[in-house]
């Protein structure tokens, strides 16, 4: 007795059709096959899958079939005007060979790094520590210094006097946390301010994995196109992961080899920023709700601090978030009391990102630092949440 309906294909036919479709699609999309493969968490499985994608890509390249989809994509982006949009810019997203393989990467300027401990660095009159990052009237439970214990920075000498007509140009870049932090800083500055903030937030980006987003190249191109006096860096929330080096070594987090390479990646971005800007501000990691994630970020923060110590505080400043909200030694909190009887929510539902109002509060320390470090004809006043 035959049960198969002649009007429909058998399961084997369907599976065969799907397999053929996948093979054809793989050949036409061969240049991009490595992208999903590179997201595999297990490094050894990732290596095997990447080897397969490389074989497919090699065949597609010899036949020229891998050129059709990229051309179609470029035409679509050009017609729609999306080619210059940061979320579609293929110059920096998903680049198999990141900046670590390029010969034109910016090298450190010798004046930026601190010399050996046997030498001394002449430092002009220093600034006092940063003021509290929370406005007056906030309860003691939410108050804390805006910067953790660190060497005070010297006043920056600038030939320009900044004003509303000639605002201080600031470039704020980093991962998804930048959306709320840079927006909060912009709110602090207010409309028609003497501080002009441009920012770029790339979800899931970091100091590592420049094959996903090439920050060194993006930063170099951006700072070459427009002059910025100050650059603000917020990266690291996505960096607690294993990764491969350029010479195909698997590096596992919390190992000496991982930390060595990670420090180099941090230096590359900091050096690139310092090669163009007068001063760089490096934002620390936030306190987050998930205890395991919070511990991972504390580990990342420790490495960042050790790298920052290699630079003169005259050019690089660390800006702590944890010492402001919730405060040194205090547990995670999703809201703070900013005035008697008034509570402000500062963290989003995910427990990892600030709200814009939270960014406005936690960025007051950076705002005050900018006002101190650069000359203004009239000192800008922070616009706090009402």
Is there a contact between 319 and 268 (Cβ–Cβ < 8 Å)? no
Could you tell me which residues are beta bridge partners of residue 282?
233, 318
In 3-state terms, what secondary structure has residue 102? coil
Cα–Cα distance for residue pair 382/365, rounded to 1 Å: 10
Cα–Cα distance for residue pair 115/303, rounded to 1 Å: 19
Q: Which residues of the chain have pLDDT under 70?
A: 1-9, 19-78, 80-159
Ramachandran quadrant class, 300 (left: phi over 0; alpha: psi -120 to 50; beta: rest): alpha
Is there a contact between 212 and 94 (Cβ–Cβ < 8 Å)? yes
- What is the DSSP secondary-structure string of 331-358? ---SEEEEETTEEEE-B-TTSSSB-HHH
Q: How many CB atoms lie within 10 A of CB 42?
A: 10
Q: Roughly what angle, to the nearest 10 degrees, separates helices 178-189 and 364-373?
A: 60
Cα 214 to Cα 177, 270, 316: the distances in Å are 18, 14, 22
Res 209: pLDDT: 83
Cα 26 to Cα 18, 19, 46, 88, 232: the distances in Å are 12, 10, 17, 22, 40
Cα–Cα distance for residue pair 112/385, rounded to 1 Å: 37
Rg for the chain, CA atoms, rounded: 25
Could you tell me which residues are beta bridge partners of residue 200?
173
Is there a contact between 28 and 60 (Cβ–Cβ < 8 Å)? yes
User: What are the residue ranges spanned by the domains of the chain?
Assistant: 11-85, 140-373
Closest CA to 281 of 199, 379, 166, 338: 199
List pLDDT tens digits, range 31-76.
455 455 555 656 556 556 555 655 655 555 666 555 565 666 566 6
Res 201: pLDDT: 95
Which residues, other chains included, contact 314 with Cβ-Cβ below 8 Å and sequence gap of 6+? Answer: 123, 153, 154, 156
Cα–Cα distance for residue pair 174/202, rounded to 1 Å: 6
Cα–Cα distance for residue pair 113/72, rounded to 1 Å: 46
Nearest 5°: the CA angle 272, 212, 322 is: 65
| CA 116 remoteness from chain centre | 30
Class of domain 140-373: alpha beta
Cα–Cα distance for residue pair 185/154, rounded to 1 Å: 23
Is there a contact between 266 and 174 (Cβ–Cβ < 8 Å)? no
Q: Roughly what angle, to the nearest 10 degrees, separates helices 215-225 and 256-274?
A: 10
The number of residues in the chain equals 386
Going by the DSSP 8-state scheme, the letter that residue 248 receives in this structure is: S
Residue with tokens 């601190």: 114
| CA 49 remoteness from chain centre | 28
């Amino acid at each position: 007795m035959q049960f198969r309906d002649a009007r429909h294909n058998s399961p084997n036919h369907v599976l065969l059709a799907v397999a053929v479709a996948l093979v054809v699609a793989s050949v036409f999309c061969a240049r991009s096959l490595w992208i999903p493969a590179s997201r595999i968490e297990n490094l050894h499985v990732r290596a095997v899958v990447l080897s397969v994608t490389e074989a497919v890509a090699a065949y597609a390249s010899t036949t020229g079939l891998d050129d059709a989809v990229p051309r179609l994509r470029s035409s679509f982006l050009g017609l729609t005007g999306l080619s210059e949009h940061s979320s579609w810019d293929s110059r920096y997203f998903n680049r198999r060979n990141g900046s670590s393989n390029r010969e034109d990467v910016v090298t450190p300027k010798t004046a930026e790094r601190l010399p050996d401990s046997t030498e001394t660095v002449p430092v002009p009159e220093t600034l006092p520590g940063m003021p509290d990052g929370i406005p007056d009237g906030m309860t003691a439970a939410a108050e804390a210094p805006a910067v953790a214990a660190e060497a005070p920075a010297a006043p920056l000498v600038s030939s320009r006097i900044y004003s509303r007509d000639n605002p201080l140009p600031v470039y704020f870049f980093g991962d998804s946390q930048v959306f709320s932090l840079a927006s909060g800083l912009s709110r602090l500055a207010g409309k028609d301010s003497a501080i002009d903030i441009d920012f770029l937030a790339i979800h899931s980006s970091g100091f590592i994995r420049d094959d996903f987003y090439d920050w060194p190249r993006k930063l170099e191109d951006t700072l070459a196109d427009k002059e910025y006096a100050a650059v603000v860096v917020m990266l690291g929330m996505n960096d607690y992961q294993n990764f491969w080096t350029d010479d195909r070594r698997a590096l596992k987090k919390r190992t000496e080899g991982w930390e060595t390479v990670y420090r180099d990646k941090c230096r590359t971005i900091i050096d690139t920023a310092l090669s163009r800007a007068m001063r760089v501000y490096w934002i620390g990691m936030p306190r987050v709700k998930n205890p395991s994630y919070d511990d991972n970020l504390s580990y990342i923060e420790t490495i960042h601090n050790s790298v920052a110590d290699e630079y003169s505080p005259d050019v690089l400043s660390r800006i702590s978030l944890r010492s402001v909200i919730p405060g040194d030694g205090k547990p995670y909190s999703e809201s703070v009391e900013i005035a008697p009887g008034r509570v402000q929510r500062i963290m989003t539902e995910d427990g990892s990102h600030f709200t814009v109002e939270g960014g406005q509060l936690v960025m007051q320390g950076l705002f005050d630092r900018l006002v101190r470090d650069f000359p203004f004809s009239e000192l800008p006043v922070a616009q706090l949440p009402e």
